């Protein structure tokens, strides 16, 4: 699922126009340009954490990049090599919120990439390009590991936004993570 999330994110990055960069996103602190910088951070953090480094050594938002798609592809290539390494699923990873085995870190970052892909697709009117299987996979994970009642501070999500039980998996995922679908 991480590979699907990376592919989806890469497609959205590759097809985001320069005229979109100043648009606000569902994340109140990000416009598209800032979100792209955060996505670069995420792919760098995944690679660093899976290689035994501290994910917090990568800044929250990567800035000063002239060609985001090229930088993403470079970081993605490094991450793909890391993912192919023996033992990556059991290697302990220091993440911003916990130290976890590689498999758990991969699942957590899959949810982050999937949600931020939704943010980018929503902002740029491309929700139909999202892989619904990712949201279906991520939804039970975030419901289990992102508490509904402890939001703000170290849990960087707004209050749960109620959505209908029959809403799409992405709408349910967005609502759970404090975004208005």
Interval 20-38: pLDDT, tens = 999 999 988 899 999 999 9
Domains identified in the chain, total number: 1
Interval 131-160: pLDDT, tens = 999 999 999 999 998 888 877 776 678 899
Q: What is the mean pLDDT of the chain?
A: 94
Q: Establish if 44 belongs to a structural domain.
A: yes
Question: Buried (b) or exposed (e) across 71-98, using 16+ Cβ within 10 A?
Answer: bbeebbebbeebbeeeebeebebbbeee
Q: Establish if 150 belongs to a structural domain.
A: yes
Residue 40 corresponds to which tokens in the numbers above?
A: 């670069």
Please name the residues in contact with 145: beta carbons below 8 A apart, sequence gap of 6 or more: 108
Q: Establish if 181 belongs to a structural domain.
A: no
With vertex at residue 119, the alpha carbon angle to CA 117 and CA 123, rounded to the nearest 5 degrees, is 120
Q: Establish if 71 belongs to a structural domain.
A: yes
Q: What is the pLDDT of residue 155?
A: 62
Q: Establish if 49 belongs to a structural domain.
A: yes
Q: What is the pLDDT of residue 148?
A: 86
Percent of the chain with pLDDT over 70: 99
> pLDDT class for 95, splitting at 50, 70, 90?
confident
Q: Establish if 67 belongs to a structural domain.
A: yes
The parent domain of residue 134 ranges over: 2-176
Record the pTM. 0.95
Residue 110 is part of a domain; what is its CATH number?
A: 1.20.120.450
Interval 52-89: pLDDT, tens = 999 889 999 999 999 999 999 999 999 999 999 999 99
d(CA 63, CA 40) in angstroms, rounded, equals: 9
Q: Establish if 148 belongs to a structural domain.
A: yes
d(CA 128, CA 117) in angstroms, rounded, equals: 12
């Amino acid at each position: 699922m991480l590979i699907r999330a990376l592919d989806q994110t890469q497609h959205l990055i590759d097809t985001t126009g320069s005229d979109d960069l100043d648009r606000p996103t569902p994340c109140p602190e990000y416009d598209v340009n800032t979100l792209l910088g955060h996505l670069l951070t995420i792919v760098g953090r995944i690679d660093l954490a899976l290689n035994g480094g501290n994910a917090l050594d990568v800044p929250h938002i990567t800035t000063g990049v002239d060609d985001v798609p090229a930088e993403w592809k470079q970081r993605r290539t490094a991450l793909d090599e890391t993912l192919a390494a023996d033992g990556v699923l059991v290697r302990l990873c220091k993440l911003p919120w916990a130290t976890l085995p590689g498999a758990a870190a991969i699942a957590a970052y899959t949810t982050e990439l999937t949600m931020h892909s939704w943010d980018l697709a929503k902002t740029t009117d491309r929700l139909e390009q999202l892989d619904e299987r990712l949201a279906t996979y991520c939804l039970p994970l975030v419901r289990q590991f992102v508490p509904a009642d402890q939001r703000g501070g170290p849990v960087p999500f707004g209050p749960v936004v109620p959505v209908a039980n029959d809403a799409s998996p992405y709408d349910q995922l967005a609502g759970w993570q404090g975004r208005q679908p």
